[in-house]
């Protein structure tokens, strides 16, 4: 059997003989994000729809959580890392862009029995207050409108990363979570428990 000293010597030899793999460099003009809000400089940003996920988690009669996704989203962020509390956000989701792995259920959800997408094609959020708690977390309060009804909603927000983005255009990514009461918006009794809205998105600074 190996002695403790011999085992240690073997481990050290293997470590020296196996250098760490070098990380492949990023393409020219592409910059990775860092956990520093200051890298997203002050200005007006547009939501990157290609890098946005709006996920809704709904109780399936208490058995499990059904997960739905909305694929068409627009938004604008007025941002200043030196005065985050003065920031402003507005976002719009096309209700008929909902997707689900239950065959035919998306069409049913957008119909008059549930989300009434023809009468109310969009859900909107407009911020009323940004309240940072530290350099990477905070709360964004605002007015959320769904099916013609508007209620106050607060998102818990966490910085994903910020940086020079692509081509040197500043970019900021965030993760946000809020909960709404379905009855506040006139949803049918089928929806009994609070509904969680989870958003992962990136914003790119306008030219």
Q: Tens digits of per-residue pLDDT, 164-198?
A: 999 999 999 999 999 999 999 999 887 879 999 99
Higher pLDDT, 7 or 149: 149
Instruction: Give the single-character DSSP code of 151.
Output: E
The whole-number pLDDT of residue 48 equals: 98
Give yes or no for residue 13 having a pLDDT over 60.
no
- Relative to beta strand 88-94, strand 122-132 is antiparallel
Whether the Cβ atoms of residue 180 and residue 197 lie closer than 8 Å to each other: yes
What pLDDT sits at residue 18? 45
Structure tokens at 68: 């739905």
Mean pLDDT across the chain, nearest whole number?
90
pLDDT of 35 strictly over 60:
yes
- End-to-end CA gap in the chain: 67
> Model's pTM, two decimal places?
0.86
Exposure b/e, 19-36, CB count within 10 A at least 16 = b: eeeeeeeeeeeebebeee
What is the predicted pLDDT for the residue at 191? 82
The CATH number of the structural domain formed by 30-205 is 2.40.128.110
What pLDDT, on the 0 to 100 scale, is given for residue 5? 53
pLDDT of residue 195: 96
User: In angstroms, what CA-CA distances link 112 with 137, 144, 151, 186?
Assistant: 38, 20, 21, 12
Query: Could you please report the per-residue DSSP string of the chain?
Result: ---HHHHHHHHHHHHHHSPPPPPPPPPTTB---BS-GGGS-SEEEEE-GGG-EEEEEEESTTS-EEEEEE--EEEEEEE-TT-GGG-EEEEEEEGGGEE-SSTTHHHHHTSTTTT-TTT--EEEEEEEEEEESSSSEEEEEEEEEETTEEEEEEEEEEEEEEEEEETTEEEEEEEEEEEE-GGGGT--TT--S-EEEEEEEEEEE--
Q: What is the DSSP string of 95-137?
A: GGGEE-SSTTHHHHHTSTTTT-TTT--EEEEEEEEEEESSSSE
Token pair in block for residue 2: 């190996």
Higher-confidence residue of 195 and 6: namely 195
> What is the model's pLDDT at position 25?
85
Label residue 22 by pLDDT band (50, 70, 90): low
Which pLDDT band, with edges at 50, 70 and 90, does 120 fall under? very high
Confidence band of 94 (pLDDT split at 50, 70, 90): very high
């Amino acid at each position: 059997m190996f002695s403790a000293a011999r085992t240690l010597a073997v481990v050290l030899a293997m470590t020296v003989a196996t250098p760490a793999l070098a990380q492949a460099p990023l393409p020219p003009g592409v910059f990775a994000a860092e956990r520093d809000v200051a890298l997203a400089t002050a200005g007006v940003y547009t939501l990157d729809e290609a890098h946005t996920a709006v996920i809704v988690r709904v109780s399936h009669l208490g058995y499990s959580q059904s997960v739905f996704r909305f694929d068409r989203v627009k938004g604008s962020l007025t941002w200043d890392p030196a005065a985050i509390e003065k920031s402003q956000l507005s976002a719009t989701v096309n209700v008929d862009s909902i997707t689900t792995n239950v065959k035919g259920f998306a069409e049913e959800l957008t119909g008059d029995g549930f989300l009434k997408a023809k009468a109310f094609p969009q859900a909107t959020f407009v911020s009323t207050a940004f309240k940072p708690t530290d350099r990477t977390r905070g709360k964004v309060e605002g007015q959320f409108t769904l099916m013609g009804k508007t209620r106050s909603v607060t998102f818990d927000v966490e910085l994903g990363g910020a940086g020079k983005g692509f081509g040197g255009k500043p970019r900021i990514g965030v993760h946000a979570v809020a909960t709404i009461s379905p009855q506040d918006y006139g949803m049918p009794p089928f929806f009994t428990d609070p509904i969680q809205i989870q958003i992962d998105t990136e914003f790119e600074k306008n030219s």
